[in-house]
Amino acid sequence: MNRFFTGLAVGIVGTAIVCVIAFMLIPFSAKGLSKGDQAIFDHVKSQCKSEAKDKNLGVLQRRKFVASCVMDGLKEHPEADPYDLD
């Protein structure tokens, strides 16, 4: 039984270390948005939110609608890459 707990503890500590290292690297790999792209994103998002509010959708339906609406709205602006959003 002692070996079981030792192995379990080693596994948990190893997993924790790997997770901490992985989460530390995430902010350094993100590019972020330029001010122009952020302005376009904010404008499209506010339009989609008001459209979702007018449709009287539930909370989860509204979130799904806004997410798809933003992706569709950003297709009209090819200079703003929707995959850079973090």
Q: What is the pLDDT of residues 23-82, one digit of tens each?
A: 766 555 446 667 888 888 889 899 999 999 999 888 999 999 998 998 888 888 777 666
Same domain, 26 and 48: no
Same domain, yes or no: 2 and 24? yes
Separation of alpha carbons 69 and 73, rounded Å = 6
54 and 69 together in one domain: yes
Q: Does one domain contain both 47 and 86?
A: yes
Confidence of residue 86 (pLDDT cuts 50, 70, 90): very low
Pair (24, 43) in one structural domain: no
Q: Percent helix, strand and coil across the chain, each rounded to 5?
A: 80, 0, 20
Helix (H) or strand (E) segment spanning residue 38? helix 35-54
pTM of the model: 0.55
Q: Tell whether 22 and 43 lie within a shared domain.
A: no
The domain total for the chain is: 2
pLDDT at 18: 79
Quick one: pLDDT at residue 12?
92
Are 44 and 20 contained in the same domain?
Answer: no
Asked whether residue 49 falls in the same domain as residue 23, the answer is no
Instruction: Residue 3: give the domain boundaries.
Output: 1-30
Q: Residue 1: pLDDT above 80? A: no
Residue 46 sits in the same domain as residue 73: yes
Question: Any residues with CB less than 8 A from the CB of 86 and at least 6 apart, and which?
Answer: 30, 32
45, 66 contact by CB (below 8 A): yes
49 and 26 in a common domain: no
